[in-house]
Chain A
Amino acid sequence: MDFLKNPAHRAWLVLIVATSITWYLGEVGAAGTASIVAMLLIAFVKGRLVILDFMELREAPKMWRILLEGWLILVSSLILLAYWISLK
């Protein structure tokens, strides 16, 4: 499979599958802590693939990788915190 040798092509495949999973979780009405954590994890993996393989920051100076991946961690953590508060 020559197609899969290209990291961008691999990333695209994973992104499509991951999007379908999130959409499916919506279809079955997934709600609550487990599904929120699952969706945030999926979004994190997807975002990381875009940062590393689409933006091509995998080989970039460490600072920029940390800034963008740090943004993902920050946003996911804030959303998780807000959802955790809403469950109380």
Chain B
Amino acid sequence: MTNMTDAPAPYSAETASARRLPGDLAIWFFILAEMLAFAVFFAAYAFARASHVEEFNLYQQTLDRNLGGLNTLLLITGSWFVVRAVQAAHKDNQQAIALNILIGWLCGGGFLIVKVIEYSAKFGAGISMSTNTFYMFYISLTFFHFMHVILGMVILTVLWVQARKGVYGRHDAHGLESGAAYWHMVDLLWIVLFPLVYVMR
């Protein structure tokens, strides 16, 4: 407890009461719009399943749950490192900001590699969007998410370059927080997508 006494004082009575939204307001509207699009997609999957229960239950068994689970761990861990980058910025720990963004980016890269392995097994088996309703949803939903992982990694690349220039710190972490929020959204969407498409039956 004693070492808490020298904690920084930016949280004065004035700022402590003010609730603060991390990052820029615009990114949160963008995130909300993306999440609503995915909500429609998730609901469409669930309701399409309701009228094709046997088909969905049968073909869901052909999905690789190990790769899906591994990808969940990769996105969660990638998100966690980007939180650490934001925390490092708030502590003005310059080197840790860029390093943590880089590790988060590598987790995203791992996700893409695993997904490509998964897709090539499916496409190699002759499966396509037109095979049946289940695969149509499986491919379009996961690919739509895949593109969001790529966009998230492009954003992380920009954040990494900026972090190496020393743009972020205690004085300003808005850009970093905005990009981080988008990256967490990619994680959040997969947290719903994985049980829904790979496991629930």
Contacts and interface: CB of A to CB of B under 8 A. Distances in A.
Say whether A and B bind each other: yes
Interface of A: 6, 8-9, 11-12, 15-16, 19-20, 22-23, 25-27, 30-31, 35-36, 39-40, 42-43, 46-47, 50-51, 53-57, 59-62, 64, 67-68, 71-72, 74-75, 78-79, 81-83, 85-86
A87 B50 CA distance: 8
Contact of B21 (A47, A64, A72, A81): A64
Interface in B62-119: 65-66, 68-69, 72-73, 76-77, 79-80, 82-84, 86-87
A64 B196 CA distance: 25
Contact of A8 (B19, B87, B191, B194): B87
A57 B28 CA distance: 11
A2 to B, nearest CB: 10
A82 B195 contact: no
A75 B185 CA distance: 14
B195 A39 contact: yes
A11 B77 CA distance: 11
A80 to B, nearest CB: 9
A20 to B, nearest CB: 8
Contacts of B187: 50, 54
A60 B19 contact: yes
B79 A19 contact: no
> From DSSP, what is the main secondary structure of chain A's interface residues?
helix
Contacts of B35: 68, 71
A54 to B, nearest CB: 4
B32 A67 contact: yes
Contacts of B177: 56
Contacts, number: 136
Contacts of B77: 12, 16
A40 B80 contact: no
13 contacts: A22-B69, A23-B68, A31-B57, A43-B195, A46-B191, A47-B191, A54-B80, A60-B22, A64-B21, A71-B35, A75-B43, A83-B50, A85-B47
B19 A79 contact: no
Interface string B25-46: 0001000100110010011001
Nearest to B195: A39
B200 interface: yes
Contacts of A39: 195, 199-200
Given A12-B76, A50-B184, A79-B196, A27 B65 contact: yes
A51 B73 contact: no
Given A22-B194, A43-B195, A47-B191, A71 B50 contact: no
A86 B184 contact: no
Nearest to A46: B191
